[in-house]
Amino acid sequence: MADGDGDAPASASRYAKTSTNYNDLPTYPERPSFKDFKNGLRPNSQVVVFDGSPGDPFKPSSMPIYQTSTFVQPSASEFGPYDYTRSGNPTRTALEKHVALLESAYASFAFGTGMSALMTVTRLVKPGEEVIIGEDIYGGMYRLLTNISRHQGIVLVAVDTTNLDLVEAAITPRTKLVHIETPSNPMMHVTDIRRLSAILQSKGVLLSVDATMMSPHLMKPISLGADICVQSATKFFGGHADTMGGFVSVGDANLANQIAFCQNAEGTALGPFDSWLFLRGIKTLAIRIDRAQATAQRIAELLGAHPQVTKVFYPGLKDHPGHELHFSQAKGAGCVLSFTTGNLRFSQRVVDALRLYKLTVSFGSVHSLCEMPCTMSHASVPDEERTLPSDLIRLSIGIEDADDLAEDLVHAFELAASDVPDIIKFKKAEQLLYDSQFQDMPVVPVAPSKL
């Protein structure tokens, strides 16, 4: 495996084995384990150099899509490596192998959405047991835990996970899982994964890290001591805002069997076509993130110096309280940042005035995006429980030209500060929208009679 192709040459025949006993079948399709695997390739090569079908006699350069629901079995008394796509599919296995390779995980599993991945992690917790979460987490996860998991008898405790003394004090004999985001979404709080992992291991508590903001290109939580790493694949893995998915990567066989069992039993696995789209997206993961991250650093510095910005939240800035800690466990600050203006209405006008940044939830796309978390991505968190500033703006930086993105922000602040009453109407009237309608351009073709 030194070449990083994700498979040992001798293992191709292993996948063709059959079993005569249903109970002897593996919990999930067999594949290599990449826990503690030392890849000889550098990160930018790891996302590209991977053969998803090393046993295919036709040697395709791109992993084929096995767009099928069922697989014919060898005989009435034997089972092949695949039988039903809900339980396993070669295209999904290829994706899960590549993700495990990038995460340095024992095994990885692909789900239909990021939320179904998070839901499956909660299945590890039994009624009466406790889950500790960070105070700043994705609104969808908060909704899942408070409105569904609580009704299943799971006890929820929210603490500031940047303060490990508070986390340790919150642990009880019933604590099963601690779930964190680092950096958190959208306030960019940084939690020490190594130290938290050491605390939890001594108490027999699982550590789950949602590392969607980073992707394995920038941070590998399992290598830092986490038991579980969750990724919303919709973001950076896909990278083009055209498919949805989620990954759960784990550090040992017991967790792998539990996650795989739930994935199969609840039917939450990712389909073959979406699996193929993510396999394709991964190939440009590194170059997209590196480009967007460089621009994000520049945008954060621009905002930090802007007189109408009161605070910038981005771990790439040296005055960020978690700057040094973050770079001790990640190799970059990422492509997402947040900032406040000190005035809700002014923040709304800034967002309305932007032309290149698409006003939408989510992040990690090639397009630059903007949103106001309190009314969009985190609106499911009740006002009385929300810890976010109401004027907070979140930006997800894409791969557009850095000068264009910087100029758009500067102009947005100028328009927001003007006396224009309705910015949306003003942009339409002045044709300031990049809507690709090109209404002022001549229309082709021209009728032959008019030539």
State the catalytic residues: 86, 138, 210, 235
Instruction: Specify whether the CB–CB gap between 332 and 293 falls below 8 A.
Output: yes
Instruction: Specify whether the CB–CB gap between 347 and 373 falls below 8 A.
Output: no
Backbone Cα Rg of the chain: 24
Helix (H) and strand (E) counts in the chain: 13, 12
Distance CA 366, CA 336 (A): 12
Ramachandran region, residue 21 (left: φ > 0; alpha: ψ -120 to 50; beta: rest):
beta
Nearest one of 25, 90, 138 to 380, comparing CA atoms: 138
In single-letter form, the type of residue at position 133 comes to I
Q: Which tokens hold the place of 438?
A: 């090109």
Chain centroid offset of residue 136 CA: 16
Instruction: Specify whether the CB–CB gap between 131 and 182 falls below 8 A.
Output: no
**What does residue 161 show for φ and ψ, rounded to 5 degrees?**
-75, -5
Give strand pairing partners of 131: 156, 177
